[in-house]
Structure formats: C-alpha cells, structure tokens
Amino acid sequence: MFIFNGKKYEEAVIDRLLVQVNICLEGQDCGSASQMSQAVASSPVEVQKVELSQGSEHEVKMLNSGEGGQMIFEPAVLKVSVGDTIHFKAVDMSHNSAVIDGMLPAGAESWAGQMNMDISVTLDTEGVYVYQCDPHVMMAMIGVIQVGEATNINDIKAATNTLKSSFVMNAERIDTYLNQL
C-alpha cells in the first residue's frame, strides 16, 4: 500500500481529482463561475437610446471603418419623423444601401441603392426599417431607421432570426441596434 501525505494512495488521488475537476451537470448549482455569469446576466444593461434627429434631412455614411467597427453605417441607428429624407453617402467604396425584404413597414416603399453611389430616400410611412449593404451583409453591415412610432417593431423582431442566419460576424449588431430605439 502506498501512503501519500499520510493518506492511502487511492484516497489522495480522489482528493486531488475532487479539487481539480469541477463537473457541472445541467440543473445543478455549478459554483462560483456560473453564479458570476448569472449575476452579470441579470444585472441591468445600460442601453443608450437614440434621440429623435432634428431637421428633416439626415446623413448616413457608408464606411469601411467607423466608431462602431468595420464595414458599418454611421449612424447605424436613426430616429426621424414621417416625411424625412435620408441621404446615404458613399464615403468609402464598395458599399450600397438596400432595404431588407420583410423588414420595413407594410405599404412602405423599398429602396436598393447602386454600389458606390449616394442614394436619398424619403420615408413617408411610419415604422421601423432595416437595411443592408449587399456585399457586406455577412459582416452585419446593416442599419435601422425608425420613422415616427415603431408600429411594426414586433414584425421586425420576428424577422431578425432569418436575418442573423446571413451573418457570419457582428451578429449582435441587430439586437444592439434595435435596443437603441
């Protein structure tokens, strides 16, 4: 029989296993790590809401790199009034702005800008619009515009799962953007 630190060898091995291996089964209290993540998840998240943009004309830049990351519209979230005009500016090359099918208010006019071209759209129908840059939708190069009240927000949220399936990175952007409305 081996003696290790005054214990039988097998007991010592078991002690070491118990210390080093933390087996966590679903439904069990899994110790400090999970308690910490629960605490983080349940703490209120600070969301900076977007203010209504003043004036009747607004500019959105199409950028390779902005404050919010790579391949991005800036500002990516806008709140405007019914009848306002949005000017999408081709500041950097290889971008466009095209509203996403099923992510605009019922009866609203859609738009699809040409690559490398500025496009201006006047939004006469109230609700939330989500648009994309066609070549960079995989990187979640999208933007959100709320016109008047967010009358169709439930339809928009329901459509986000389909939209997320076309992202390979920055997939959190859509939820982040919608939470700012």
Residue nearest Cu ion (C-beta atom): 133
Distance in angstroms (rounded) separating the CA atoms of residues 162 and 40: 28
Residues 88-107 that bind Cu ion (CB under 5 A): 95
Among 58, 136, 152, 178, the residue binding Cu ion under the rule CB under 5 A is 136
Strands 119-122 and 85-89: antiparallel
Smallest separation (angstroms) from Cu ion to the CB of 63: 8
Site for Cu ion contains 133 (CB under 5 A): yes
The footprint of Cu ion on residues 141-160 (CB under 5 A) is: 141
- In the bound state with Cu ion, the residue whose beta carbon lies nearer, of 92 and 126, is 92
Where does this chain touch Cu ion (CB under 5 A) — which range of 76-84, 97-105, 126-134, 169-177? 126-134
**Residue 173, interface with Cu ion (CB under 5 A)?**
no
Closest CA to 87 of 63, 65, 117: 117
Interface size with Cu ion, residues (CB under 5 A) = 4
Residues that bind Cu ion (CB under 5 A): 95, 133, 136, 141
